[in-house]
Chains A and B, each alone.
Chain A
Amino acid sequence: MAGIFRRNGAGDAPARYSAPQLARKGLTGEEWPRVWRDHEIKPAYDVIIIGGGVHGLATAYYLATNHGITNVAVLDKGYLGGGGSGRNTAIVRSNYLTPEGVAFYDRSLSLYNSMAADLNINVMFSERGHLTLAHTDSALRTMHWRAEVNKLQGIDSSVIDPDEVKKLAPSLDVSTHPRYPILGALYHPPGGIIRHDAVVWGYARGADHRGVHLHQKTEVLDILVEGGDGPGGKGAGGKVTGVRTNKGDISAPIVVNCTAGWGSLISNMAGVKLPINTHPLEAAVTEPVKVFLPTVVVSGSLHVYVSQTDRGELVFGASVDPLATYSMRGSLSFTEELAGHILELMPGISKMRLLRQWAGLCDMTPDYSPIMGFTPVEGHLTDVGWGTYGFKAGPVSGEQMAECIATNTTPKLIAPFALERFSTGQLVGEKGAAAVGH
């Protein structure tokens, strides 16, 4: 297949971000150049990627960078990073539960480690350590299980006792008084947080200057498929010919679904049904205070997690709302439960005030693992099922999806996440490490 791809005209290389540039622009007040450019939509591309979040943009970036495939368009119905990629709590880690998951997320972490240099943008990666608290014997058992799976694959991950927890995060109440006392924690030093917007912009800028077209406010209304078994020639056995958008039809032999929470709607357009339910996930942020929380803290039993940004705000998250819906409205019950649960862990922050709360959509799969690669419709690929944990997977997903498209074969790292697993029964049960931890 490699022969069918053409090169798009690459633009001028963007001005490099550097300390001398920063000093010059700071002193002269000179404008920074636009991070990416707008283009006319061409009638045809080699690859169309639906969804301008970290997954779609990273896929485009690696298609151009690793495989020289640049006649590519990324379409987003809103703005780049307007989905989960701009709404998440930016936790990255690789201490998952299944060997497949660990290998996959670990590759992503190593791409994050070199990202600032690779993309020439400050992504503010803060490798501050990640604590998953255990409040029950069974939770502690799962932590030991995860630690052993992790160690076997060379991941820095171990179970620590409440005294060590207290040393790492002194604001936590490790006494036996709370209803759910802290019995120990899984400690993962390489985990941390990153500036999610910079990651999105970095991939967009890199893809743009290699010739990829980024089309915002371009909504895909239908996927054009011929020769399938289903109604309108869609479904299994069919072949993708392009997409219909609010700005007209665009042809392409390959159409990739990178729309996360909206993933079912997009693949349904090609006649491919996915094992996904869409649930909102809410998050909230407090006013900034002096930095006191050095690590990321997650509590599965209390459905809450927290980290402190460099600016001093506490960022909170929880588990998904129980209602399956495409509505992104926040709810009071989230705020109430969040406050109750976080005070159980950190009684000292009771006077802090919340600044904002928001929600994003999460594409939940039955086994808390993604759905990546080919589908029964030729030319329609998916990179969805990212639930509450997909931000950290952006780089590796982009890299592997690009290889999948360029070579027309499924790379080993993502083979376990194929759609077929739901008919063969080979699920990749990641719930124990992904339900609240993100």
Chain B
Amino acid sequence: MLLVPCPHCGPRNQSDLRLVGATVPRPDPNATTPEEWGDYLYLRDNPADWIEETWYCRAGCRRYFTLTRHQGTNEFRNPPMPGDKVGTATYTTISVGSSGSQPGANIEPHTTGGAS
């Protein structure tokens, strides 16, 4: 089992988290072709190399964030630590708003420190 560096809780057992998958930019659903939308939903690079991916800390802080991991060796690059200052951290936290009618419509990635 991996120790996953949660930017808020610190290293935690992998079973406390869920790997959501590779972080891919979401195109505007109103302005894409079905092919582009299919690509976004399904196609993945799946490299044996460094990959940006989204994790969900389901048994801890219950936040979503991005980490960089090597899919060949499982090493994390620049693992963030709780308390890292804004701007120095190399990770992204995605905050999920509680209102809004469109699922996912108010997911806006922003960089932040461990305190947010």
Contact = CB atoms under 8 A, between A and B. Distances in A.
B38 A423 contact: yes
Contacts of A265: 46-48
Interface stretch (A36-44, A111-119, A238-246, A268-276): A268-276
A364 B73 CA distance: 19
A323 B44 contact: no
B44 to A, nearest CB: 6
B47 A273 contact: no
B43 A275 contact: yes
Chain A interface size range: 20 to 34
A98 to B, nearest CB: 18
A327 interface: yes
B19 A324 contact: yes
A327 B34 contact: no
Contact of A425 (B2, B18, B34, B39): B34
A392 B85 CA distance: 53
Nearest to A363: B46
Contact of B39 (A324, A332, A366, A423): A423
Interface in B38-77: 38-39, 41-48, 53, 71-74
A175 interface: no
Interface string B71-110: 1111000000000000000000000000000000000000
A206 to B, nearest CB: 32
A323 B14 contact: yes
A358 interface: no
B18 A322 contact: yes
Contact of B38 (A274, A323, A325, A425): A425
A277 B18 contact: no
B27 interface: no
Contacts of A422: 38, 41-43
B1 interface: yes
The B interface, classified by DSSP as helix, strand, loop or mixed, is mixed
A422 B40 CA distance: 10
A333 B46 contact: no
Nearest to A276: B46
B28 interface: no
Contacts of B41: 366, 422
Given A324-B21, A333-B1, A275 B14 contact: no
Query: What size tier do the contact residues of chain B reach?
Result: 20 to 34
A17 interface: no
Contact of A326 (B19, B34, B53, B71): B71
Interface in A413-438: 422-425
B70 to A, nearest CB: 9
Nearest to A366: B42
Interface string A271-295: 0011111100000000000000000
A369 interface: no
Contacts of B38: 422-425
Given A327-B73, A423-B38, A333 B44 contact: no
Contact of A333 (B15, B47, B48): B15
B47 A268 contact: yes
Contacts of B46: 264-265, 268, 274, 276-278, 324
Contacts of B45: 264, 268, 273
B40 to A, nearest CB: 11
A325 B1 contact: no
Contacts of A21: none
A258 B53 CA distance: 27
B72 A323 contact: no
Nearest to B44: A277
Contacts of B1: 331-333
A250 B58 CA distance: 49
Given A333-B1, A423-B34, A326 B42 contact: no
A273 B39 CA distance: 9
Interface string A316-337: 0000001111110001110000
Nearest to B17: A322
A273 B14 CA distance: 28
Contacts of B14: 322-323
A325 B71 contact: yes
A181 B1 CA distance: 29
Nearest to A331: B1
B34 A424 contact: yes
Contacts of B74: 323, 325, 327
Nearest to A427: B42
B43 to A, nearest CB: 4
A326 B2 contact: no
Pick the 4 closest A-B CB pairs, nearest first.
A275-B42, A264-B46, A423-B38, A273-B43
19 contacts: A265-B48, A268-B45, A273-B39, A273-B44, A274-B44, A274-B46, A275-B42, A275-B43, A322-B19, A323-B2, A323-B19, A324-B46, A324-B53, A325-B71, A326-B48, A327-B74, A423-B34, A425-B34, A425-B38
Given A268-B47, A273-B44, A323-B19, 4 more contacts: A264-B47, A277-B44, A423-B34, A423-B39
